[in-house]
Structure 1
């Protein structure tokens, strides 16, 4: 037996749908207004460049952690916790040369930004640069890797999953706009301190026992190798963050939220 809804019932359902869609539109508009007002309050409270300005902006960066897990979709700012990088590559030497290698990381996810703290901030308006130091009690990363190398005439190729956890970690980030607002952003990240590290690389050596041995050696002796691999870490992270910052902040209308429009970072 089928149920039939009379015409007034159909109209009632249509009214409910219209009301629902209108309410949803109002909710989205209200959310946008709240975000704009919040950003205007946070970014607009620092008035002038100087020591007070730098300390004010340090506090602003920490207050903005509330958006790390959500991003700001209406301004194309993606979440930073976790944030994702699709592709980053590191090359050394000629593809045919001895000792050359290529490391490719794909689909990298990074966690821990919501618990981080900006400890120092410095603005250099003449050079259109900001520099800030950031502390992470714990930061973790994971993704897929491909490694190809040529050593002493033999080729080595590996690929698989990897994950890395850093403890008591700090870094300094320099963000510089190359030209006028809307132009490219260049990011350089420098590792300052790593208090502890756990790293697992799948398929680094052939066979599970050898892989476990490799993990043990790396995690017990990483401090000895850090001075040699630190420049490569800085390069990989800087390359990834240059892409991420350009995607999220290159066209962000900063002047909309500032009391003065002279800022050109």
Structure 2
């Protein structure tokens, strides 16, 4: 097996690995029971005075206090749980099926864990632009599910499916949330990946045969950083689109002014 073959294979596997990594940021979960949510939210949010100089820091602390709801959601306000995320179907397509290169990735029955341990490290509110920006840190995030992958490159076809699992370490991102208009109007989200400190990924049946599949795991986990800079713009676009859907579903009609003090 030549060194060049390993390099080419490694690059392809890195691209698939990173795409697989970020295509799973969707929330498809069921709601659970809650206590007196209105009183609790009022207690947390009303302590942040919008005219105070420390409003941004106060809201950063509130965001972290809200982690108690990540595992339950807030059913009365149609906010779904964030930990774990559970999604039955995610699809990603790129390229023209009749062209020189294209791929289709489907993820099924995806579960994502780690949001309850995340921390909002920075928060900024821009009332005039109806926008908030916050940075979030995850010491560890894990995902698992089933995948189907089909690709066509220069006339050659690749079809794979199986189980996959992934763990991220020392991961952070910055999220910008902007409301386009008055309360109840659409929400636009942009997510920028800031850092991935470490990654462990296993993709079943990516290569034919157990020895080659173990080799693929080793190549992916040792070379993923090389492919990240080239596909980061696509990652940011993909995650931003997914989170725009999530925020509109869960937060578009949330009556924030009901709980904030003036």
TM bucket, shorter chain: 0.7 to 0.9
Contact 1:66–1:114 (8 Å) recurs in 2? yes
RMSD: 1.9
Alignment of 1:61-72 (within 5 A): 61-72=63-74
Q: Which residue of 2 aligns with 1:55?
A: 57
Alignment of 1:134-173 (within 5 A): 134-173=136-175
| Cα distance change of structure 1 residues 239 and 169 upon mapping to structure 2, 3 Å threshold | same
**3-state secondary structure, aligned to 2:211:** helix
For 1:221 and 1:237, the matched residues in 2 are separated by 22
For 1:133 and 1:223, the matched residues in 2 are separated by 22
After superposition, give the CA deviation of every residue in 1:93-144 in whole Å (9 maximum; x if it has no partner): 2121112222232332211111111000111222221110011110111222
Q: CA deviation at 1:60?
A: 0.6
For 1:43 and 1:87, the matched residues in 2 are separated by 35
Q: CA deviation at 1:197?
A: 0.4
Contact 1:185–1:250 (8 Å) recurs in 2? yes
Q: CA deviation at 1:175?
A: 1.3
Contact 1:88–1:236 (8 Å) recurs in 2? no
Q: Which moved more, 1:203-212 or 1:167-176?
A: 203-212
Contact 1:85–1:107 (8 Å) recurs in 2? yes
Alignment of 1:93-108 (within 5 A): 93-108=95-110
After superposition, give the CA deviation of every residue in 1:37-89 in whole Å (9 maximum; x if it has no partner): 11011122211157511111101101111111111122221111112234333
Q: CA deviation at 1:149?
A: 1.5
Q: Which residue of 2 aligns with 1:174?
A: 176
Q: CA deviation at 1:229?
A: 3.2
Q: Which residue of 2 aligns with 1:190?
A: 192
| Cα distance change of structure 1 residues 233 and 95 upon mapping to structure 2, 3 Å threshold | same
Structure 2 unpaired stretches of 5+: 1-32
Q: Which has the higher contact order (CA 8 A, sep 6+)?
A: 2
Structure 1 unpaired stretches of 5+: 1-27, 261-265
**3-state secondary structure, aligned to 1:39:** helix
Q: Which moved more, 1:54-63 or 1:123-132?
A: 123-132
What is the total number of aligned residue pairs between the two structures?
230
Q: CA deviation at 1:178?
A: 2.3
Larger radius of gyration: 1
Match of 2:215 among 193, 213, 216: 213
For 2:68 and 2:40, the matched residues in 1 are separated by 11
Match of 1:131 among 124, 130, 133: 133
Q: CA deviation at 1:237?
A: 2.5
For 1:154 and 1:49, the matched residues in 2 are separated by 61
Match of 2:92 among 75, 90, 93: 90
Q: CA deviation at 1:234?
A: 2.4
Contact 1:147–1:159 (8 Å) recurs in 2? yes
Give TM-score scaled by structure 1 length: 0.80
**Does 2:120 align with 1:118?**
yes
